[in-house]
């Protein structure tokens, strides 16, 4: 049985004081629910949010990290820094980073190797653009991203990776993939992972869906066989909406 996981990607929102207010709102609303809940605030809010999360089951994640453990990389943040700031999770290869910061599969692969080595739980984001979908290239693009991220990573280690299927056309647009569209790609990813990790291991891997998930559509998405929760953007910035989405994963 795969335990559902719902993570909030706060993107470039919330100062430290605002982040504290948001997580104070979320904490009581999701307490005691049998869902793995994670919040991913900006780097500058990690410490403040961590203090609020003490004695709570909510996990803390970062939105990005560098692929080296330390060094002359101005403006970057390492896995060791994230661990020291209380993070257990890290988002890697979000489409906004691929689109706006030039991240490609080989960079995501290096970051993934580093996160796994550091014992941070990576959430690797994959997904096609509308143009790629319309050109019939979903499988090629999405599985290319999954395979690219895993390049050279041992199967025994790769089973610890969490995946998020986030069709780029559904992110922040209000257009959600239908449950059928999402399930089709999730099943495709799991099938691909089975070839690389073995079926038993692939059956344990969790694959989140992301892209305009709201309280109204979450339950139908999460009810699909291969959808194990969500990675939430806009709706994660509202405690009530985020908690409602977490409850939809029960
Ligand atoms: P939205 O929920 O705002 O569409 O964002 C999804 C996302 O990018 C989460 O990482």
**Atom of ligand 1 at shortest distance to CA of 234?**
3
Give the model's pLDDT for residue 174: 87
What is the CATH class of 5-248?
alpha beta
| 94: annotated active-site residue | yes
Q: How confident is the model at residue 231 (pLDDT cuts 50, 70, 90)?
A: very high
Give the model's pLDDT for residue 1: 81
Tokens of 124: 């690797």
50 pLDDT above the threshold of 90: yes
Over residues 122-143, mean pLDDT = 97
Q: SS3 breakdown of the chain: % helix, strand, coil, rounded to 5?
A: 50, 15, 35
99 pLDDT above the threshold of 90: yes
234 lines ligand 1 (CB under 6 A): yes
| 184: annotated active-site residue | no
Over residues 35-58, mean pLDDT = 97
The residues spanned by each domain of the chain are 5-248
Over residues 137-157, mean pLDDT = 97
**Atom of ligand 1 at shortest distance to CA of 96?**
8
Tokens of 50: 């961590």
70 pLDDT above the threshold of 90: yes
**Atom of ligand 1 at shortest distance to CA of 235?**
2
Rounded Cα–Cα distance for residues 229 and 223 (Å): 9
SS (H, E, C) 46-93: HHHHHHHHCCCCCEEEECCCCCCCCCCCCCCCCHHHHHHCCCCEEEEC
Question: Could you tell me the pTM of the whole model?
Answer: 0.97
217 lines ligand 1 (CB under 6 A): no
Residue to probe by mutation, ligand 1, list 8, 207, 213, most atoms within 8 Å of CB: 213
233 lines ligand 1 (CB under 6 A): yes
Mean per-residue pLDDT over the chain, rounded: 97
Q: What is the pLDDT of residues 162-204, one digit of tens each?
A: 999 999 999 999 888 999 999 999 999 999 999 999 999 999 9
Rounded Cα–Cα distance for residues 37 and 242 (Å): 10
Q: What is the pLDDT of residues 3-39, one digit of tens each?
A: 999 999 999 999 999 999 999 999 999 999 999 999 9
Residue of 36, 96, 128, 166 marked catalytic: 166
């Amino acid at each position: 049985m795969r335990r559902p996981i719902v993570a909030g990607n706060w993107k470039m929102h919330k100062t430290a004081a605002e982040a504290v207010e948001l997580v104070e709102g979320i904490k009581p609303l999701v307490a005691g629910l049998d869902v793995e809940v994670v919040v991913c605030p900006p780097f500058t809010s990690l410490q403040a949010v961590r203090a609020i999360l003490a004695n709570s089951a909510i996990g803390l994640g970062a939105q990005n990290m560098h692929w080296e453990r330390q060094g002359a990389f101005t403006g970057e943040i390492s896995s060791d820094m994230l661990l020291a700031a209380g993070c257990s999770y890290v988002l890697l290869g979000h489409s906004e980073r691929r689109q706006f910061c030039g991240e490609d599969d080989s960079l995501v692969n290096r970051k993934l190797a580093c996160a796994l080595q550091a014992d941070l739980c990576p959430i690797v984001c994959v997904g096609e653009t509308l143009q790629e979908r319309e050109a019939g290239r979903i499988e090629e693009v999405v599985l290319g991203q999954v395979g690219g991220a895993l390049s050279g990573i041992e199967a025994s280690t790769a089973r610890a990776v969490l995946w998020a299927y986030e069709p780029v056309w559904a992110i922040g647009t209000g257009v959600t993939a239908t449950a059928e569209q999402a399930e089709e790609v999730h099943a495709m990813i799991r099938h691909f992972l089975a070839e690389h990790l073995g079926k038993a291991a692939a059956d344990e891997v969790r694959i989140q869906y992301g892209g305009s998930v709201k309280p109204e559509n979450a339950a139908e998405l999460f009810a699909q066989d291969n959808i194990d929760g969500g990675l939430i953007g806009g709706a994660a910035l509202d405690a009530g909406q985020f908690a409602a989405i977490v409850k939809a994963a029960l």
